Amino acid sequence: MRRLLLALPFALLPLAVAHAHDDHDHDHDHAHGTLGAHEHGVAKLNAVLDGNVLELALDSPAMNLVGFEHAASSDADKAKVAAARQQLEQPLKLFAIAQAAGCKEEAQDLESPLFGNAPEAGGDAHQHADINARYQLTCATPGKLTQIDLGRLFKTFPQTQKINVQLIGPNGQKGVEATPAKAVVEF
Amino acid sequence: MYLLRLALASLANRRFTALLTAFAIALSVCLLLAVERVRTEARASFASTISGTDLIVGARSGSVNLLLYSVFRIGNATNNIRWDSYEHYAKDPRVKWAIPISLGDSHRGYRVMGTSADYFSHYQFGRRQHLALDQGRAFADDPFEVVLGAEVAEALHYKLGDKLVLAHGVAAISLVKHDDKPFTVVGVLERTGTPVDRTLHISLAGMEAIHIDWHNGVPARGAGRISAEQARAMDLQPTAITAFMLGLNSKIATFSLQREINEYRAEPLLAILPGVALQELWSLMGTAEQALFVVSLFVVLTGLIGMLTAILTSLNERRREMAILRSVGARPWHIAGLLVLEALALALSGIAAGLGLLYACIALAQGYVQANYGLYLPLAWPSAHEWTLLAIILGAALLMGSVPAWRAYRQSLADGLSIHL
């Protein structure tokens, strides 16, 4: 009996290994010092509105936006990357920011190994890649900016199933889980 | 109008059953509204525990865990963090103010928190309200001064100038006491309805002083002991704290600073947005809250079905009544209207009595609930949401009243004046 018990961990070992490989949730070392989470289908959006400055930061696995995470080599892949990039370059449309707020883009920063502007870490065949987009806008009448509509983002990138939104607005801090069915996030 | 008078007169004739039915509805309405009110107030008081703080920083664990021990004084920190890390971020140009927090001791079941004087000027709760002193002053240079939360002072009957001894650890009954270094009460805070009321505040120097002669988690004995007087003369700069709160000059910097702190190389730290963590925590409790609401809805349904049963069973006894009404010229729809009005009258009086009962209960329990659970239940008019609930109950009662009405309508057509014996 005792021998059997001793053998138990070894019997279970393949299970643990198989699980580790299935799990896309595990952490990877990216360009930064710490390990960031990477979960396909889930993106992160941080939005902060203070005075008339609006800052948005979208962090998403490349899988959600272009459908693959390796550097684009074929023409079809390159076209997909270019199309995603074009969408991401128009934050006013992508986040359906109210026209009445009179927001203007001040700065934009798109970063991803797929765009060739972030170092691809390691030669691991199992490597994941993220796309990070940062925007800074100034709004003439920030009072009119009451919500962000992620409906278009979900429609443009159908592989995105959930966006964890963190908001800081005039009413304080808020955490919301946006889904295609509940895409409007209020400040 | 005469229909309503008739309905009321008919009800008065059966006043005992009618009263019981109305009372059942009143009780269920009262329960539903009480659950609603406690729910909304609990949520509001929960959300107003902390405000104006942009980031809370502690040892790397989970955001809910960090929020629980730093703000709600529930549970314990997994690790302490270095004083250097606190100073590093307190000096950051983006940071407007920083409040260090040191936890771990208690006094008769109430937690003791070591902090700096900045706590009294920068900590905010509710709608950006600041802490205010009810009596006395904040702790000053002497390390052995304590400022009590309102509830601590009230429950343990402490006044300014009283001396008290802190216990090591957070168990309600502690075997190890810091009895060689008693603290003097110098101030009592105004009631806030937050965990601040249940906290004893001392300076970080005081926290350091009571542990200064401790080695390996036990107090020194004999010659190794350091008296309060000696401790006062020593350098009481702490080397570690439990967590710290940050207020920033511009909210825009929140996310970048959070990222930076989470990636701090000198020490594994975790920075959380208290507002987001609060919502995370509330969503954990949201299920229980929903369950409570559903249960009270079913209680209301039971009350209404009780009313339906009472009216339906009375139909047979009242065939004579109906027949007489028909004989003096009442049409079948008059009979139906009579029964609907009866249901309406029962439901309305039930709702009115339920509201009365609710306000009586709130008036009676208000002080007790506030003192024991930190929940403030206002004697306010029903909110829009509550009115909607009441309207739905009334609508449901009318719908249910239409069942006996329809039957009476059919019967009065079929029965006519003939009485079957």
Q: Convert the pLDDT of each residue in B117-128 to its tens digit.
A: 999 999 988 778
- Where does residue A11 fall: left (phi above 0), alpha (psi -120 to 50 degrees), or beta otherwise? alpha
- Predicted confidence at residue B419, as pLDDT, reads 55
- Predicted confidence at residue B145, as pLDDT, reads 92
Task: Determine, for residues B255 and A166 on separate chains, whether the beta-carbon distance falls below 8 Å.
Answer: yes
B128: containing domain: 55-272
- Its sign, for the CA torsion B101, B105, B107, B111, is positive
Is B277 within the bounds of a domain?
Answer: no
Task: Determine, for residues B262 and A32 on separate chains, whether the beta-carbon distance falls below 8 Å.
Answer: no
Is B420 within the bounds of a domain?
Answer: no
In the listed set B226, B250, B272, which residue is the last one of a domain according to the structure? B272
- Predicted confidence at residue A142, as pLDDT, reads 87
- Determine the residue type at B103: L
B→A interface, C-beta within 8 Å: 51, 54, 250-252, 254-255, 262-263, 265, 273-277, 279-280
In the listed set B272, B304, B319, which residue is the last one of a domain according to the structure? B272
Task: Determine, for residues A166 and B276 on separate chains, whether the beta-carbon distance falls below 8 Å.
Answer: yes
Tell me the two tokens of residue B300: 């209301």
Q: Touching check for A168 and chain B: CB below 8 Å?
A: yes
Mutation target among B251, B257, B260, B270 for the A interface, most CBs of A within 10 A: B251
Cα angle: A94, vertex A98, A100; to 5 degrees: 145
Helices (H), A37-149: 62-66, 75-88, 91-94
Question: Which residue in chain A has the smallest CA separation from B282?
Answer: A175
What does the buried/exposed string (b/e) look like for B12-49 if buried means 16 or more CB atoms within 10 Å of the residue's CB? Answer: eeeeeebeebbbbbbbbbbbbbbbbbbeebbeebbebb
User: Is B18 in the same domain as B137?
Assistant: no
- Predicted confidence at residue A23, as pLDDT, reads 39
Residues in chain A within 8 Å Cβ distance of B261: none
Distance between CA atoms of residues B399 and B271, nearest Å: 54
A107: containing domain: 2-27+34-186
Residues in chain B within 8 Å Cβ distance of A50: 250-252
The whole-angstrom distance between residue B319's C-alpha and the CA centroid of its chain comes to 53
- Which stretch of B34-43, B61-70, B92-101 has the lowest confidence by average pLDDT? B34-43
Question: What count of CB pairs under 8 Å joins A to B?
Answer: 45
Task: Determine, for residues B275 and A173 on separate chains, whether the beta-carbon distance falls below 8 Å.
Answer: yes
**Cβ within 8 Å of residue B269, ≥6 positions away:** B57, B58, B59, B60, B81, B85, B261, B262
Using DSSP's 3-state secondary structure scheme, residue A96 falls into coil
A154–chain B nearest CA distance, Å = 23
Q: What is the complex's ipTM, to 2 decimals?
A: 0.70
Mutation target among A168, A173, A177, A187 for the B interface, most CBs of B within 10 A: A173
User: Is B376 in the same domain as B292?
Assistant: yes
Q: Touching check for A71 and chain B: CB below 8 Å?
A: no
User: Is B37 in the same domain as B59?
Assistant: no
Confidence of residue B175 (pLDDT cuts 50, 70, 90): low
What does the buried/exposed string (b/e) look like for A117-155 if buried means 16 or more CB atoms within 10 Å of the residue's CB? Answer: ebebeeeeeeebbbbbbbbbbebeebeebbebbbeebbe
- Determine the residue type at A152: R
Residues in chain B within 8 Å Cβ distance of A173: 54, 273-276
In the listed set B246, B272, B298, which residue is the last one of a domain according to the structure? B272
φ/ψ of residue B305, rounded to 5: -65, -35
Partner residue facing B251 (CB), from A32, A33, A50: A50
Number of domains chain B contains: 2
User: Is B325 in the same domain as B404?
Assistant: yes
Mean pLDDT of B272-292: 86
User: Is B268 in the same domain as B305?
Assistant: no
Task: Determine, for residues B275 and A172 on separate chains, whether the beta-carbon distance falls below 8 Å.
Answer: yes
User: Is B185 in the same domain as B68?
Assistant: yes
Give the CA distances from residue A115 to residues A31, A78, A129, A168, B220, in Å, rounded to whole numbers and listed in that order. Answer: 15, 10, 11, 29, 63
Q: Touching check for A52 and chain B: CB below 8 Å?
A: no
Cβ count within 10 A of residue B408: 24
Distance between CA atoms of residues B275 and B273, nearest Å: 6
Statement: residue B268 has pLDDT above 80: yes
Largest CA-CA distance found in chain A, in angstroms, rounded: 76
Task: Determine, for residues A175 and B262 on separate chains, whether the beta-carbon distance falls below 8 Å.
Answer: no
Is B145 within the bounds of a domain?
Answer: yes
Better-scored residue on pLDDT, B375 or B50: B50
Q: Touching check for A48 and chain B: CB below 8 Å?
A: yes
pTM: 0.73
The whole-angstrom distance between residue B131's C-alpha and the CA centroid of its chain comes to 19
Residues in chain B within 8 Å Cβ distance of A33: 263, 265
User: Is B388 in the same domain as B310?
Assistant: yes
**Cβ within 8 Å of residue B341, ≥6 positions away:** B3, B4, B7
- Predicted confidence at residue B67, as pLDDT, reads 92
Using DSSP's 3-state secondary structure scheme, residue B416 falls into coil
pLDDT, chain B, mean: 86
- Predicted confidence at residue A173, as pLDDT, reads 87
B275–chain A nearest CA distance, Å = 5
User: Is B136 in the same domain as B264?
Assistant: yes
Cβ count within 10 A of residue A108: 15
Residues in chain A within 8 Å Cβ distance of B279: 174-176
Long-range CB contacts for residues A126-129, cutoff 8 Å, separation at least 24:
A127/A28, A127/A69, A128/A24, A128/A28, A128/A38, A128/A61, A128/A62, A128/A63, A128/A69, A129/A61, A129/A62, A129/A69, A129/A70
Residues in chain B within 8 Å Cβ distance of A166: 255, 273, 276
Cα–Cα nearest to A132, from A85, A90, A173: A85
Number of domains chain A contains: 1
- Predicted confidence at residue A126, as pLDDT, reads 57
Task: Determine, for residues B250 and A50 on separate chains, whether the beta-carbon distance falls below 8 Å.
Answer: yes
Is B117 within the bounds of a domain?
Answer: yes
Task: Determine, for residues A48 and B280 on separate chains, whether the beta-carbon distance falls below 8 Å.
Answer: no
Cα angle: A64, vertex A69, A75; to 5 degrees: 100
User: Is B2 in the same domain as B90?
Assistant: no
Residues in chain B within 8 Å Cβ distance of A53: 252
Confidence of residue B93 (pLDDT cuts 50, 70, 90): very high
Is B37 within the bounds of a domain?
Answer: yes
The whole-angstrom distance between residue A30's C-alpha and the CA centroid of its chain comes to 14
User: Is B99 in the same domain as B244?
Assistant: yes
Is B278 within the bounds of a domain?
Answer: no
Tell me the two tokens of residue B231: 């401790």
Give the CA distances from residue B229 to residues B141, B396, B398, in Å, rounded to whole numbers and listed in that order. Answer: 14, 73, 78
**Is the CB of residue B335 less than 8 Å from the CB of residue B408?**
yes
**Is the CB of residue B337 less than 8 Å from the CB of residue B1?**
no
Cα–Cα nearest to A46, from A153, A164, A151: A164
- Predicted confidence at residue A118, as pLDDT, reads 64
- Predicted confidence at residue A36, as pLDDT, reads 65
What does the buried/exposed string (b/e) look like for B268-305 if buried means 16 or more CB atoms within 10 Å of the residue's CB? Answer: ebbbbbbbbbbbbbeeeeeeebeeeeeebbebbeebbe
Distance between CA atoms of residues B228 and B35, nearest Å: 51
Better-scored residue on pLDDT, B233 or B23: B23
User: Is B74 in the same domain as B215?
Assistant: yes
User: Is B40 in the same domain as B66?
Assistant: no
Partner residue facing A173 (CB), from B263, B265, B276: B276
- Predicted confidence at residue A138, as pLDDT, reads 92
Q: Residues B215-260: pLDDT tens digits?
A: 666 677 666 677 777 777 777 888 899 999 999 998 889 999 999 9
- Which stretch of A121-130, B13-22, B78-87, B161-170 has the lowest confidence by average pLDDT? A121-130
Give every residue of chain A whose pLDDT is below 50, as ranges.
1-2, 4-32, 122-125
Task: Determine, for residues B279 and A175 on separate chains, whether the beta-carbon distance falls below 8 Å.
Answer: yes
- Tell me the helix, strand and coil percentages in chain B, rounded to 5: 55, 15, 30
